[in-house]
């Protein structure tokens, strides 16, 4: 599993294609992350032009990804996908790149289905895969003050500062926090969705984190060897004074 997670991380970072910036270093935090918690269990590769031509009319121009590995025990293996299969379409949309494949997975939830059209031994076949959840979310892209791998990092810092200010007051405006996260999500239309942006805030005992899901905002605070978790579910929910102080 660890090897698979490393493969998934490399593939998703490749699709992000972000460029570092030269903006002044922010001071409010040191890390931002995008995470994913779902997978189908294949590693793919692009075809060379010579390989495409060898398929002739069977393979439409610019279409198709070749499966070079199927993760044992994964949804892909259970669905019958094999090494060498060409993924042509997902839910009716053609697959031109790894990003197309990732988008089809990112737009589903665990337990939902993706309907693929594949090419195997010269025959087109339908394959349906049930998307599964990873045991733990996997970081697919991140930035730090020194390693700026996310686009719009300066903008994220501004959002993050405002979120800190909101959390520092006695009764935080939860809708305002959601609005700030929505602005961050817009920077990553192919990767981010609610619950997949995690913001880090440095404290004396480690990093506090803030994550906005569709139904709650979760704040975690390190305390020795433990982590305290606070759920803000509705307007009126508050954080303890000592936690609010961390965001000032």
- Residue 204's pLDDT is what? 80
Over residues 131-139, mean pLDDT? 70
Residue-wise pLDDT tens digits, 76-85: 999 999 999 9
Least confident of 20-24, 96-100, 143-147, 241-245: 20-24
Least confident of 69-78, 88-97, 181-190, 222-231: 181-190
- Residue 9's pLDDT is what? 36
What band does 10 get if pLDDT is binned at 50, 70 and 90?
Answer: very low
Q: In what order do the strands lie in the sheet with 31-39?
A: 132-144, 31-39, 197-203, 206-212, 217-223, 226-232
Residue 26 pLDDT > 60, yes or no?
A: no
Least confident of 17-21, 111-115, 128-132, 169-173: 17-21
Residue-wise pLDDT tens digits, 29-78: 456 566 666 778 888 888 888 888 788 888 877 778 889 999 898 899 99
Over residues 192-220, mean pLDDT? 79
What band does 233 get if pLDDT is binned at 50, 70 and 90?
Answer: very high
What band does 227 get if pLDDT is binned at 50, 70 and 90?
Answer: confident
224 DSSP assignment: T
- Phi, psi (deg, nearest 5) at residue 182: -60, -35
Residue 228 pLDDT > 60, yes or no?
A: yes
The whole-model pTM stands at 0.52
Q: Which candidate, 39, 50, 52, places its Cα nearest to that of 7?
A: 39
Over residues 97-115, mean pLDDT? 76
**12 Cβ neighbours under 8 A, 6+ residues apart:** 36, 102, 140, 141, 191
């Amino acid at each position: 599993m660890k090897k698979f997670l490393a493969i998934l991380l490399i593939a998703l970072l490749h699709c992000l294609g972000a460029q570092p910036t030269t903006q002044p270093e922010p001071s409010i935090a040191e890390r931002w992350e995008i995470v994913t918690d779902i997978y189908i269990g294949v590693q793919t590769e692009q075809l060379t032009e010579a390989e495409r031509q060898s398929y002739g009319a069977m393979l439409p121009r610019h279409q198709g990804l070749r499966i070079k590995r199927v993760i044992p025990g994964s949804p892909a293996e259970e669905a019958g996908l094999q090494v060498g299969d060409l993924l042509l379409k997902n839910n009716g949309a053609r697959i031109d790149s790894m990003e197309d494949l990732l988008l089809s997975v990112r737009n589903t939830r665990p337990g939902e289905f993706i309907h693929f059209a594949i090419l195997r031994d010269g025959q087109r076949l339908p394959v349906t895969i049930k998307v599964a959840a990873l045991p733990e979310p996997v970081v697919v892209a991140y930035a730090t003050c020194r390693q700026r791998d996310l686009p719009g990092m300066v903008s994220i810092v501004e959002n993050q500062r405002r979120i800190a200010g909101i959390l520092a007051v006695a009764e935080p405006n939860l809708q305002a926090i959601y609005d700030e996260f929505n602005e961050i999500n817009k920077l990553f239309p192919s990767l981010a969705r609610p619950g997949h942006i995690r913001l880090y805030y440095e404290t004396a005992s480690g990093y506090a984190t803030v994550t906005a899901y569709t139904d709650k905002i979760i704040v975690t605070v390190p305390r020795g060897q433990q982590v305290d978790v606070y759920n803000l579910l509705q307007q009126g929910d508050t954080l303890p004074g000592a936690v609010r102080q961390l965001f000032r």
